[in-house]
Amino acid sequence: MRLKIFSLLLLLLTVGCVTTPPPENIPRAALSFPSEALMTQRAVLTVRGRQFTLNGYVAKSEARGLRLVVTENFGDVLADVLVKPDGGVFVVQAKPPLRADWVDRYIAADLKCIFGNGMETNCPVKILSPTHSVIQRRWYKLDLQIVEIKPGAQPPGLFDEIP
């Protein structure tokens, strides 16, 4: 009897549960946002093992492009970047610890990757749900969640290059 119980226990431990693993990645089409919208987001940025929580919003306009404002937890603006419809990048503001060249190179690329409708070709995004994605680059990881989407036309002044 003991041998049967032991054998059954050993079998269960070696085989494990038979379940279907979760999908590794949801198709890129799952990241389809309205062409005109204001999206509030929260993110965790991991750089060399250190984590930083960020908040912000993305304004999206088919005619005017994308505008991203990244804030820290207390509301101070860390980065403000505008991506024109042709893919051109204009860094409106960058404050420490974010440098303007880093905002131009990486934050704008991630913005195009997630919200740019195919604007960015080097797009290492893993889509976990229609509002949750992760970008893993060589030395950082961005875990981004969209918490609110307000569809509709955005004010033209929101896409000005003047802060």
Alpha carbon distance 98, 20 (integer Å) = 41
Q: Assign 21 to helix, strand or coil.
A: coil
pTM: 0.78
Render pLDDT for 37-96 as a digit per residue (tens, 0 to 9). 999 999 999 999 999 999 999 999 999 999 999 999 888 999 999 999 999 999 999 999
Q: Tokens in use for 1?
A: 């009897």
pLDDT of residue 161: 86
Q: Per CATH, which fold does 20-153 belong to?
A: outer membrane lipoprotein receptor (LolB), chain A (2.50.20)
Render pLDDT for 11-38 as a digit per residue (tens, 0 to 9). 333 344 444 444 444 444 446 789 999 9
Domain extent listing, the chain: 20-153
